[in-house]
Structure 1
Amino acid sequence: MRSISVTMFMSLDGVVQGLGRPDEDTRNGFTHGGWGPRYNDEVMARELGKGMAKRGDMLFGRRTWEDFTGAWAHATDGNPFTAHMNAATKYVVSRGLDNADAWENSILLRGEAVDTVATLKAQDGADLSINGSAALVRSLHAAGLIDAYTLLIHPLTLGEGARLFDGPAPLTRFELTDSVTTTKGVVIARYERR
């Protein structure tokens, strides 16, 4: 059985929407896009690099996969993260995509997220990681399919926007296994399901 781990960038008040750039995700009138990059530093790069060093496959919701495809699929910048993203097997969960041909090594999982991911998780294979894809994470968390979280908690509040746990989440206990604070005040906390 595979494990599923989530890496999520979030504000202090739990907002996970529009981290990277102003136009990334403006749903519901969100105007604070691009709040994250000013907090990047060498500590964050090193900690995220630890995740890249582990063998594994990636799991995406449709919106995040499409956004990442635009950013990474044709990049030739020599960045090790780019090479990692392009080489990894990427599963995209969607009811609406026709195919996943736009990004190499992508496999389309059609149907209901919880069902298709539960089937994938039960198979032999590399562990699965999710970066972003908050709606997918919420549904998988509610179904008890998430095994670990790495939360990058940024020292700002946004007051509005989609939150990691928007709505009720079932009682699930996690144990803090590691934490690091960056030079810019981001707390990187790693939790594993108990």
Structure 2
Amino acid sequence: MTSASDRAVLNSIFNPLLPVGECVYDEDIPADLKDADDNSPEGHEAKAMELKGVKAAEAGDVDGAIKFFSDAITMVPSRASGYNNRAQALRLQGKIEGAMADLDKAITLSEGKGRAACQAYTQRAMIHRLQERDELARSDFQVAASLGSEFAKAQLVQMNPYAALCNKMLHDVFSKLQRGECEGV
């Protein structure tokens, strides 16, 4: 078992662009708010359908995954996670407009709170970034970071060239110190 200090050292080695003390190993994202539908038979069935969709996507059957996610949405259209999951599958197929519509719906249904919202903001930010809409990406990453996404925090740092350069230089100095290459420091 590693100590917090050990994890911090490993994190700074594997994530040199993050500010010192920041980490990507412990995401503290609150669970989704419980809908009344979550305890219903339909809610349980929708969750099971989403799980089948995730397994289908992992097996490379993106069309099948989309069908499972769509079925889950039909069963319980108020669950944000179904839209978020389907957006991931649509994005894999290059159907960006459909993915963006599902992400917007997930954010609306979740009221911008919880795990589904955090994931939707992060996904939407990645799409914005790929389409070189950095200000929109930065805005969505900031919301996701405020919801607890360490990945979004790391992306914000990478999008800031000055912070990234400072962190890289600091990482290089510490690496040289550990190897004994710096004298008189």
TM-score class normalised by the smaller sequence? under 0.3
TM-score, reference length from structure 2: 0.23
TM-score, reference length from structure 1: 0.23
Q: Which of these two proteins has the greater Rg computed from alpha carbons?
A: 2
